[in-house]
Amino acid sequence: MKNAIEREIPENIVWYDTVINYATPFEKEPTGRKIAPLLKQVKPSENKLVNSIEELIQKAGLKTGMTISFHHHFRDGDYILNSIVEKIAQMGIKDITIVPSSLSNIHESLVEHIKNGVITGIHTSGIRGRLAEAISNGLMEKPIVIRSHGGRARAIEAGEIKIDVAFLGVPSCDEYGNASGKGANTICGSLGYAKVDAAYADQVVLITDDLVAYPNYPASISQTDVDYVIKVDAVGDPSGIASGATRFTKNPKELLIAQYASKLIVNSPYFKEGFSFQTGSGGASLAVTRFIKAEMKSKNIKARFALGGITKPMVQMHEEGLIEHLFDVQSFDLVACESIMKNPNHHEIDASLYANPHNKGCVANQLDIVILSALEIDVDFNVNVITGSDGVIRGASGGHSDTAAASKLSIIVAPLIRGRIPTVVDGVNTVITPGETVDVVVTDRGIAINPKRTDLLEIFKNTDLPIFTIEELKEKAQKIVGKAKPIAYLEKIVGIVEYRDGSIIDVIKQVK
């Protein structure tokens, strides 16, 4: 069975009662009601504090076969996921599905716990390193499920991901469960992904290394959502959680891409007083932010908001008055972490408000311009950000497909070739973002505008920007590095790529 973008999708997938194939970005309408949390009485005399992880797991009622969640705000400094899974293994609990908002290199110990049967399912946005390689090589019986950040929030609210216990590490909290992204030992800023888990999981437990006096306010996670609290020695490694470094690229390719992209933006109808944008933390993306900033200053234009993962350059623009509001689902660096704690218009938002397509309107719906990266782009403008040129999983869906679909102008920035590997290709290995939601591809060797954006083609027909068709870009790449050899896959499906609306847009097969 092929879906609307010609990807072969199996009729039966273990995770789904009914497999719905991807059709168009907004075709799948939700029905019914959100899933609702359990009702519970906590009497005035009752205490939520527990003394050991084992007691925590017992009180939360965790049993073989259940689903547990984690957040990835601690990035590569996270101690929580590994220590909880380790304890679960020690207690003899098996067949657990984990649904973290994302996974990092630090989580490679999961390989052992998959082998020993403790972990049998993974739903995540991103996955990298030895764990991702092992999965691509067929480690798991059940395929992993890749979701976008907005899609994960949607799936949780729709009850498609049912979280039995959410294990949420927090930089600080009080005994009653009010948690903050800043503590005495660590700071992670926004707890935007964790907020969704806290609101919908059956059991919510907070793990902190900074237990403070009640009330720990303002709170990112509220006492009304929290069942148990535990104090541990350390929730993570501060240097892995947030670094102060912002990479200012000197790579000439990246600078050229950024120059093209910012020129395109500045000459688009969206660059005007009160516009909004999202940029990532990659080199080209950060450089775009710098170039746009200069244009905004010279033309005296201010942005109403910036969205997404927030970085130091955005905070600086906010503090200089160039961006009125920052909507922060994830604070990417130390400057962003500190800013969200002190700047009243630097707002913490949860992943549903950020980009869920099935609430009453996410912030991404109001977004004018988004700059997104890519591992591969194909001639139908489909984008891959999850598998490498060898077919191995090594990326993250993130907010890519969410903001591409919801924004008015989505721009993909990527070098035309990486080493000996072409970026613009006939068909991407894996589709995360469908081409019909991509407006422009900007490479160091030229720009391609999606033919369906006739308005943009008209605007840029007499520009000095190097505009080509996407086929021309593909051919340029081929001329330099030749055509990439097709990847040898086995039949086994190791990953499912769910589109933000819950339909299946692609699958990932085992590599040979």
Contacting positions for its own copies (CB under 8 A): 26, 29-44, 46, 48, 157-158, 176-177, 204, 213-215, 217-218, 222-227, 274, 304-305, 325, 327, 344-345, 347, 352-353, 356-366, 405-408
**Rg of the Cα atoms in the chain:** 22
Spatial separation of the C-alpha atoms in residues 434 and 221, rounded to whole Å: 34
Angle 272-277-280 from CA coordinates, rounded to 5°: 145
Spatial separation of the C-alpha atoms in residues 182 and 192, rounded to whole Å: 13
CB of 111 to its own copies, least distance (A): 35
Of 291 and 354, CB closest to its own copies: 354
CB of 310 to its own copies, least distance (A): 14
The residues pairing with 396 across neighbouring beta strands, listed in sequence order, are 126
DSSP 230-246: EE-S-SB-HHHH-----
Spatial separation of the C-alpha atoms in residues 331 and 310, rounded to whole Å: 5
Of 83 and 352, CB closest to its own copies: 352
CA distances to 127, 136, 174 from 210, rounded to whole Å, are: 29, 38, 8
CA distances to 176, 217, 222, 506 from 45, rounded to whole Å, are: 12, 21, 18, 51
Is the peptide bond between 215 and the residue preceding it cis, with omega within 30 degrees of 0?
A: yes
Angle 187-190-194 from CA coordinates, rounded to 5°: 105
Tell me the one-letter amino acid at 428: V
Of 29 and 233, CB closest to its own copies: 29
CB of 330 to its own copies, least distance (A): 18
CB of 500 to its own copies, least distance (A): 11
DSSP 251-266: -HHHHHHHHHHHHHHH
Of 33 and 485, CB closest to its own copies: 33
CB of 467 to its own copies, least distance (A): 26
CB of 361 to its own copies, least distance (A): 4
Tell me the CA end-to-end span of the chain in Å, nearest whole number.
Answer: 23
Of 164 and 225, CB closest to its own copies: 225
CB of 510 to its own copies, least distance (A): 35
Cβ(454)–Cβ(462) below 8 Å: no
Of 42 and 459, CB closest to its own copies: 42
Spatial separation of the C-alpha atoms in residues 107 and 127, rounded to whole Å: 9
Of 35 and 481, CB closest to its own copies: 35
Tokens 């591992």: give the residue. 375
Residues in the chain: 512
CB of 368 to its own copies, least distance (A): 11
Of 252 and 344, CB closest to its own copies: 344
Task: Name the DSSP letter for residue 175.
Answer: T
CB of 325 to its own copies, least distance (A): 6
Of 31 and 300, CB closest to its own copies: 31
